[in-house]
Every structure is written in C-alpha cells, then in structure tokens.
Structure 1
C-alpha cells in the first residue's frame, strides 16, 4: 500500500513561531526541519513535504493576492500530492479558507487549513495537536482515494467545512465555530468522520483554479441611527460593484423611505446588494417580516445563512467571473461549494 503524500504549505502566523528561550523573543520556525522538531509526525501513515511563502506574513496582512499564491501552489502540485495542509494565522483564516473553496472548483482532494493560538514551541501550545491531526485528516483514504474532497478548517479537535466557519474567540483554544453546519469530523480517541456531511464533488470533472477576484465591494453593518449621508457616500462610489448589508435578525432593516430609496437607486445603477444577517447563527428570510419584504421587492439578493467571510469571498469570486447581471442573483443564491443551506 502506497502511503498518501501530503504537502504542508506555510503562509505565516503563530503556528510557525518558536520562542528563543534565552531571549524570550519569537522567531520563525524552520519547516525544513519539521520532522526533527516534531518526531510524532513520523508515526503518521503518510509522507510529508513542505513549502513556504518566501516571506511568511501575519494573517492580518492577508489579501487576495496571497490567496492566489496559495491556489497556485496547490495547482502546481495537485497531481503529485494526495492532500494539502495550509498553515495560516487564525485571525483571517476563515476568509482565506472560504476564498480557496470558491477558487478551487471541482476539488477532489483535501485542503485543510489550520493554525494555533500559541506558538509551536510554547509548553501549552495547541499547535502540535492541530498540525498533527490536520495532516492525519488530509491523509485519510478509502480504497486509495481521499475521503475528504473539499476545503476544510481544523482547530481544537474539530474539522469544519471552511466556508461555514468564523472565528469567535481570540483567547480560547476553541477559536472557531461552524454554527449553521455540523462538523465534518471530530478528533478524540478515534477520528470520527461524519460522512453524510462531506461535500460530494463531481469526480468526472477536472480541477479549475479561478484566480480573478474582484475587490470592488463594500460591507455595511446596519445599526440604529445609521446616517443617510454615510450610506450615500458609500453607495454612490463609482468603483463599487456590490455591497453586503449585514441586517438585523432574519434579514430585517429600517423601512424609512430614504433608506429604501437609496438601496433601490443603488440596484438600478447595476450595483448588487446582498442581504446577510449580522447574527452569528441563523439565516436571512426576506419577506418573512414586513421589515425585510421591501428589500425583496426591490431586488436585494438573499445571502441566506452565509457567514460574512463566505459572503465576501463568494462575492469577489462571482464578480471576478464577469457573470451577466441577470444571472448573478441565481448564482449567488445557489450553493456552489456547500457554503449555504
């Protein structure tokens, strides 16, 4: 039996730092010596190779150009490796992982994102467990074929669909959650995979890597007292192609005439307006209440139960595909990579 071959991609972040115990200063971890530093990896039933960004970055500096770099690394190594593990800072991990889920169309192998809250050299670090189990998850096979065929995020004993995740805690080891979709797998005494929840791609189709992302979008979180002048300044920007409204509850908003008129004028100009809930769990149901029915009437697109991270990345992806305006709503409201219910 041939062992699965896993490519470890280091982009930066806390997981790649190790403390100099003489000075107390954090320094970059040399992933070329990974097996020497973490001998437990030799117990895994897979081979591991590593690649790193030339200049690893803090995840706060992550942007779509780096997303393309990650996608290109996977693309150029796709036929050589059975799975990929991406090491990434936790702050923007859900954004990057969500973006990759849309960029990698017809993905038939696992791409597992992970990171840590503490550096890999700390006594109480979560980095080793996250790293070891992520590699193990990426190497799971049945009849020499990958069990997982989607972009995932692993953190603190749980494997999630990447485009369903959001970071909820800056201090707890349990930093991420997937509140609208069950975990794909759980790590305990045994690895328990929830096969019914795994994404089922069309294996007859070849991988397509999308590298054009359009960032001419805005994100507006509604709040009581939001001003007409502020919204007008944002929505009349001539470079704006789409805007995401984070509304209340199940997609509700103010029914004041100035607000609805401004949204209608924006849509008339060809700018797409997306409605997602600012709640961390639940779904937009436009028309369920009077305070959302007007949005439905004027043509606002429903984001259903998308996370903010997935909504932003899906929007950049679809705008980058130059989809015709009349097709945009249907495409956005359709689940493409299991990102919405």
Structure 2
C-alpha cells in the first residue's frame, strides 16, 4: 500500500467558525479523520507546514512547501497538500517550477466549505486527492478538485462559491476521479534525470492591467521599481499607440539591466498572438520582450519569479528558459515557432 504524506497549510478546508469569521483551526490529523475510507486507499501520514488563510500566502510559504516535499521525498510515495482556494492556482503553478520532473505525485486540493460542515465538498476533494496520489500513473504537480485533475500550471479559480471552482485553461483535464477510480485521458510523462528542487522565488514583479486611456507615465514608475513587468494587454496582445513612445523608451534599458518585460492578454482562453495586428506585430519585432501565448497568468507570474531567482542564469538564458515547457505550461509558442521545447 502506498505511503502518502499530507501537508497541511490551512485554508477553508481546515477552517472553523469564529466571531471574526472562518479561521484555519483543524489539524491535518483531524482532516484525515473525516475520510475514514482512506484507510482502504493508502497509508496516510501528516505534517503541518503552516496554518494560514490562503489570501495570506506568499512566496515564503511556497518555499516552506517545496522544502517539506524535498525533506520527505525519499520516505513517501506521494504528497497531498491541503490549501485554501483563493491562491491555490498560484501555489500549484509555483510548485510546478520549484519541484520539477517528479516521478512522485504532488497533489494540491482544498474546498469551498470547511470539512466539518454537513454539506461540504471537502471530504470528496480530500479522498479523491489520496486516490489520485496513490495511483500508479500519477506524478508531477497537479490539482484535484471537484472530481477533476488539473495540471498545476493550467488552473484558474473562476467561481467564488461553487464547488466547481477551478477550470483548466487552454489544456484538457488529464484525468478525472469517478466512483473512487482514476480515469486517465492523457498518459503520464516519462522523466529522466531525477527530480529537481528549487527553493528561491524573486517577488520583484508587477502586473499592469491595461485599461483604455491609461496614463503612459505609469510605465516610468513601474519599470524603475520592479525587475519584471507583466502587461495584461487586450485581445491577442498589443500596445496602444498612446503608450508606444513611452514603452519604447523604458524598454531600451530593460535587457542591460536584467529586467523582464512580458506581454500577456486579459482574455482568459485561447492565448495571445502579437503578430496578428499592427499594434502588436511592430512592437514584438522591434523590442526585446516576451509573450505568454497560451500560458495562464498564474503560471506566467510564478515562472518569472522562479527565473529571476536563478542566480546562475544570464538574461538571454532567462528568456530561453521562459519558453521551455515545464509541466505543460506553454505549448502555443512551439506551434508558432515551428520548434519543439524539451521538458
């Protein structure tokens, strides 16, 4: 029987009602007690990493989680991380970069209601997570939620209260759990060279969401303050003409200062393609910037954080590595470039 370590981090799944509102208070051991059927699935061990509302999660907490997995990696066959839903997609993406090529599953789950409530999704989500973690074909970082498996780099929380809170963006569900069985649609990847752990994330990053008529002067402030600017543009991606002069100016020194400029899109599905319209094509051809293509915003942000923390990498290396596929995070780039990036 597989040995699975559950890491508790707090979140709604572990919350209790207080006068101040829901607060994480249920221990990992108590969580397991709500799913007695798990004894037929695997041997469960528990460890409390932290105990926070996921709104309060920062890169420091990701570091704690990745270290906990690394420290216990040889002792267990898989891991289940209980997490709050609000930043769960960010954590799943971050851990996809901090724990790479893992032949053992790292499953992240949570709930929309506390596990001790009568009508809750928590018990199903938690049991499903152990079922997936104990399955022979499971590996890498994935989310299990509402009976669906979502690749760690492809999730987005799209519903605030409903049990089907998360969607897989620009990528199919690799598997589902039905009647306590894993049904796979995509075969697992084969890895060579062993798992790789990374524990540092650089948080000098800002996401600028464009709105019609935004003041160009904001660019001076942001590019001076942050190492990476992610610009959420409109449609398939472009820079409005009233921003172009200022954008070209701030971009001149971007590469020499080791800074990253990334153009994304506000449209959730189908991704960017700056070469379609004049407002994007000229900028893409003239300037040394990156484009997200089919990546989620959560994956874009956490991948940039991971890259900027790599002290061994040059600016050119960071740009090249940004387009390397990690846990299915970016596929559209390969199609448009006519090349294949390795895992």
Alignment TM-score > 0.5, same fold? yes
Q: CA deviation at 1:197?
A: 5.4
Change (3 A) 1:19 1:218: closer
**Is the 2:261–2:289 Cα contact (8 Å) retained in structure 1?**
yes
43, 49, 52: which is aligned to 2:48? 52
CA shift digits 1:129-163 (9 cap, x unpaired): 0000001000001xxxxx11110011111110011
TM-score for both structures, normalised by structure 1: 0.90
**Is the 1:103–1:209 Cα contact (8 Å) retained in structure 2?**
yes
Aligned to 1:300: 289
Q: Give the alignment of 1:225-304 within 5 angstroms.
A: 225-237=213-225, 240-256=226-242, 257-270=244-257, 271-297=259-285, 298-304=287-293
Aligned to 2:148: 158
Q: CA deviation at 1:337?
A: 2.4
Looking at structure 2, the residues matched to 41 and 220 of structure 1 have their Cα atoms a distance apart, in angstroms, of 44
SS in structure 2 at match of 1:287: coil
Q: CA deviation at 1:276?
A: 1.2
**Is the 2:35–2:127 Cα contact (8 Å) retained in structure 1?**
no
Q: CA deviation at 1:18?
A: 4.1
Looking at structure 2, the residues matched to 278 and 129 of structure 1 have their Cα atoms a distance apart, in angstroms, of 33
Number of matched residues? 327
**Is the 1:19–1:122 Cα contact (8 Å) retained in structure 2?**
no
Give yes or no for the alignment of 1:328 onto 2:318: yes
Q: CA deviation at 1:261?
A: 2.1
Aligned to 1:144: none
Give yes or no for the alignment of 1:316 onto 2:297: no
Aligned to 1:31: 28
TM-score for both structures, normalised by structure 2: 0.89
Looking at structure 1, the residues matched to 94 and 326 of structure 2 have their Cα atoms a distance apart, in angstroms, of 12
In structure 1, list runs of 5 or more residues that go unmatched. 142-146
Q: CA deviation at 1:26?
A: 6.1
Looking at structure 2, the residues matched to 172 and 192 of structure 1 have their Cα atoms a distance apart, in angstroms, of 23
Q: Give the alignment of 1:35-184 within 5 angstroms.
A: 35-42=32-39, 44-53=40-49, 55-141=50-136, 147-184=137-174
193, 198, 222: which is aligned to 2:210? 222
Change (3 A) 1:73 1:190: closer
Deviates most, 25-34 or 213-222 = 25-34
SS in structure 1 at match of 2:186: helix
Looking at structure 1, the residues matched to 24 and 205 of structure 2 have their Cα atoms a distance apart, in angstroms, of 36
Change (3 A) 1:223 1:164: same
Deviates most, 147-156 or 225-234 = 225-234
Change (3 A) 1:207 1:226: same
Change (3 A) 1:12 1:35: closer
Q: Give the alignment of 1:165-204 within 5 angstroms.
A: 165-189=155-179, 191-196=181-186, 198=188, 200-202=189-191, 204=192
Deviates most, 318-327 or 121-130 = 318-327
**Is the 1:111–1:152 Cα contact (8 Å) retained in structure 2?**
yes
Q: Kindly report the root-mean-square deviation, in angstroms, between the aligned alpha carbons of the 2 structures.
A: 2.2
